Amino acid sequence: MAPSDRTQFAPNSPAARDIAYYLHPFTNPKVHEENGPFIVNEGKGIYVYDDQGKEYIEGMAGLWCTSLGFGEERLAKVAYEQMLRLPYIQGFTHRSNEVAIDLAEKLISMAPNNMGKVFFTNSGSEANDTQVKIVWYYNNARGKPEKKKIIGRHKAYHGITLAAASLTGVEYAHKGFDVPLDRFLHVTAPHYWREGQEGESEEDFAGRMAQEIDDLIVSEGPDTVAAFIAEPVMGAGGLIPPPATYFEKVQAVLKKHDVLMIADEVITGFMRTGNMFACETYNIKPDLMSIAKALSSAYLPIGAVMMTDEVYQVLRDGSDKFGMWNTGYTYSGHPVAAAVALETLRIYEERDLLGHVRSVMGSFQEQMQQFADHPLVGEVRGIGLFAALELSPDPANKGMFDPAAKVAPGMMARTQAHGLISRALPGDGIALCPPLIITEEQIGVCMERFSTALDETWAHVQAEGLV
């Protein structure tokens, strides 16, 4: 039935107009035409309000990104002032603006592992897409034109542009789009609970995962493998922290084979794991880093690639062979987005948000762990201020529901009905990733609503004969 034939939405209402004109990302169009949109019109602090005025805890910080919550007046003010002063200037052919310069300098001062240069993008997808071009250019400049393959991981999410979607390892991002492209390889997700073998210790599992990468590099030929990309904590593919010693072992393999390490900190960057960057949490020493999301608390689109001086020098010297560094975006280093990002970083420091995260994350994780003994929960996993449950019909044997049963999406709908926005993940995971400003009291309310939805989901799967 065409949208114009529908009667359940009032004519010319926001819902009817949404269905008529707006193709949503990551949304089933047929289901959307039947059910209509969930319209949010306002936000304040950790709360958002729908078009009927109902209040929700935004338990996913939007898409893992609104670290300062909603309604931060300082960010609105600085955006307004920058729009009046200089709303736009391009960054091509030596042009610049002071606020982008200030932001680049600030990011380098905060970043781990001797990062030396910043290249601005508009999103995490663009940052990771740019990483591919950097890696390929880097090896062309080094006279190694065959060294181009990039290894990602199953269940990883690195974005949805063409190259970033090829790095991504979740099936839903590939269906119908003819990706991954050639040169993109994937290894097993380091999910110890799901992938570990009987009797295998966590460290032995990490060793096996590193050996798989080593074996793949050798099989493909070390002269053809250029880089390995990883989220320090896998996000949209399941919210999976790495097993102990994983990155230590993996980095040794990469170093042995002259393979670059790309850390995708788009979700984990800016305090989410209890350090400014998750590379500090897991002692990752990347050659390249991607950041976005909390860089501006999502108030305006901005992302970036950071690289070590060693990588930059190769790109710099490549100008002798290729001339200009011919890549970039119309809005790279956009002065308004850069001003908002810079003010976001100032707020983080002035309010000691890192100290706040460290003061509440223990309580957050402890309260999530209380669900570990629930009859519907196979695993609780997380770090810092995000965590997930994996729902299972048979937790003792790590059983999985038929995806058609939509158990996690059902629980997500129930949390929303109780005023908490959560997110269903592949494999019947259900995640929470609240704004970093959340308080102890608000965490308690969040968990009460989450618990109610979990119990209702348990009752549902029992009634449906799914357990």
154 lies in some domain:
yes
User: DSSP for 110-161?
Assistant: H-STTEEEEEEESSHHHHHHHHHHHHHHHHHHTT-TT--EEEEETT----SS
For the chain, the maximum distance between any two Cα atoms, rounded to a whole number of angstroms, is 69
What pLDDT is recorded for position 312? 98
Same domain for 241 and 161: yes
pLDDT score of 366 more than 60: yes
309 lies in some domain:
yes
Same domain for 289 and 192: yes
418 lies in some domain:
yes
Same domain for 54 and 93: no
Residues 402-406 have a mean pLDDT of 96
User: Residues 266, 293: contact at Cβ < 8 Å?
Assistant: yes
pLDDT score of 310 more than 90: yes
What single-letter amino acid sits at 3? P
Cα separation, 140 vs 148, in Å, equals: 9
Q: What 3-state DSSP class applies to 421?
A: coil
426 lies in some domain:
yes
Q: Which of 443, 433, 361, 426 is CA-nearest to residue 390?
A: 426
Cα separation, 139 vs 258, in Å, equals: 11
Same domain for 332 and 239: yes
Token pair, residue 204, equals: 């032995």
Residue holding tokens 């307004």?
80
User: Residues 213, 151: contact at Cβ < 8 Å?
Assistant: yes
- In total, how many domains does the chain have? 2
308 lies in some domain:
yes
Residues 160-166 have a mean pLDDT of 97
Q: Which of 450, 394, 403, 429 is CA-nearest to residue 234?
A: 429
Cα separation, 388 vs 422, in Å, equals: 10
Same domain for 433 and 346: no
7 lies in some domain:
no
4 lies in some domain:
no
Cα separation, 69 vs 48, in Å, equals: 9
Same domain for 63 and 162: no
Cα separation, 387 vs 434, in Å, equals: 10
Residues 390-411 have a mean pLDDT of 97
The CATH number given to whatever domain includes residue 235 is 3.40.640.10
Residues 49-68 have a mean pLDDT of 98
Cα separation, 248 vs 246, in Å, equals: 5
Tell me the CA end-to-end span of the chain in Å, nearest whole number.
36
| Residue after which a domain boundary falls, among 318, 350, 382 | 350
What pLDDT is recorded for position 1? 34
Give the mean pLDDT of the chain.
Answer: 97
* Residues of the domain holding 369: 38-71+353-463
Same domain for 244 and 163: yes
The CATH number given to whatever domain includes residue 388 is 3.90.1150.10
What pLDDT is recorded for position 8? 79
pLDDT tens across 70-109, in order?
999 999 999 999 999 999 999 999 999 999 999 999 999 9
User: Residues 296, 271: contact at Cβ < 8 Å?
Assistant: no
Q: Which of 277, 223, 229, 246 is CA-nearest to residue 109?
A: 277
Same domain for 138 and 47: no
| Residue after which a domain boundary falls, among 298, 325, 350 | 350
Cα separation, 157 vs 452, in Å, equals: 30
Q: What 3-state DSSP class applies to 432?
A: strand
| Residue after which a domain boundary falls, among 329, 350, 371 | 350
What pLDDT is recorded for position 6? 47
pTM: 0.96
Cα separation, 113 vs 117, in Å, equals: 12
Same domain for 380 and 316: no
Same domain for 55 and 142: no
What pLDDT is recorded for position 222? 98
What pLDDT is recorded for position 113? 77
What pLDDT is recorded for position 4? 40
Token pair, residue 464, equals: 């449906």
Same domain for 389 and 254: no
What pLDDT is recorded for position 7? 52
25 lies in some domain:
no
pLDDT score of 3 more than 80: no
Q: What 3-state DSSP class applies to 74?
A: helix
pLDDT score of 176 more than 80: yes
Same domain for 119 and 153: yes
